[in-house]
Amino acid sequence: MILGASAVGLTSSTILAQPAIDAMAAIDPPSAEISVLASAPSAFQLGEPQTALPQADQAANEPLTGHFGLQLLLLFALTGIAIGVVYTRKLWRLSRDRLRGTSALHDSRPTAHLLLLCGLGLWLAMQVGGGLSAQTFVTPLPDGTLESSLHTTALGLLGMYVTGAVVLGLLLWRFPNLMRIIGLHAQCRDILLGAGWLLLALPILFLVSTLMTIIATWVQGTPPDAAAHTTLRMLNEGIGGWGIAVMALVVVGAPFFEEVIYRGFIQTSVRIAGGTGQRSRWWAIILSSILFASIHIGAVEWYALPTLITLAIILGVAYERSGRLAVPIVIHSLFNAVQLVMSLVQSSAAQSTTEAFATLPTP
């Protein structure tokens, strides 16, 4: 009911803003998000190398089949430890009712419908802002389209986040209680809490990503691309000034605004509509996680979506337990930073291998 009512307004607004959104589609990624364990395919390559590849390419793509079983066993062991900690600490129990006393929202307090509309409206405004920024400051190609590059991505993301900051500020000014309802505040310990959650999450995410890599290899017949995200692919080709700007925006801007939208507005709106029970709160986490992953379709490969859903569920649980957006924001930010570092290190290692083989004499 809530999703249906909000979809009508969002559809009408999208039609009016379509030109700017089309421009935003040229910016990689459309959702301004890394959020995928793109490193797992290259860390656990399967199958045989293509014999038609040059010698250097074969070396760079040499599979680790000899150690794969041991690595997978280690992943299962680490995941078991992480699940054991979750079980013994009862981290799956959403015992903290951060919305206590807000079941009868009135006056300046947003209703569930309005919270959802705020989240979708903020997302739409950011897409329009990013598209307008790219159209204004990037010279189009002869066919009128925008080049997919780090330059275009950086300017698009900057436009998105500036627009998002303005719109979010207006929403907080219009609804004084909104900051408290969505948990937009922080404590000093939230950094440690976020880091702890990430340590528990990484083995689980790596295992899901590795299993999806196995499935993707079986379906496609060849190991999938190690960089499952378009932004990672562009960064692997060279960083430069615009690359540094993109990395900063991905590590700082994307986690903040995506957590505000998906956890703060959407998850909270479903949570308010469903009631105070454990089941309704879990439904809110699951539905917002599926929506979070679906927004990334097109920006990430299909085999990365289960990892995204798993990550989103962990972010949703951390949000419900802490009652503060700062905790999932820290998890999200550290996760993106880890992905960037791992992707750049692997790209550098592959480049070094290629250069080493290029110096060998041709037989």
pLDDT given at position 47: 35
Q: Do the domain assignments include residue 32?
A: no
Tell whether the model's pLDDT for residue 215 goes beyond 60. yes
Q: Do the domain assignments include residue 72?
A: yes
pLDDT given at position 315: 97
Tell whether the model's pLDDT for residue 288 goes beyond 90. yes
Q: Do the domain assignments include residue 35?
A: no
Instruction: List pLDDT tens digits, range 85-137.
Output: 888 888 878 765 555 444 434 444 458 888 999 999 999 999 999 989 888 88
- The residue-averaged pLDDT of 144-161 equals 81
pLDDT band at residue 257 under the 50/70/90 scheme: very high
CA distances from 117 to 10, 266, 268, 330 (A): 8, 9, 12, 25
Q: Do the domain assignments include residue 34?
A: no
Q: Do the domain assignments include residue 363?
A: no
pLDDT band at residue 147 under the 50/70/90 scheme: low
Q: Do the domain assignments include residue 196?
A: yes
The domain in which residue 76 lies consists of 2-27+40-358
Count up the domains in the chain and report the number. Answer: 1
- pTM of the complete model: 0.78
| 38-42, 210-214, 240-244, 334-338: range with lowest mean pLDDT | 38-42
Beta bridge partners of 300: 229, 297
pLDDT band at residue 255 under the 50/70/90 scheme: very high
pLDDT given at position 173: 94
pLDDT given at position 194: 96
Instruction: List pLDDT tens digits, range 236-249.
Output: 666 778 888 888 99
Instruction: List pLDDT tens digits, range 194-205.
Output: 999 999 999 999
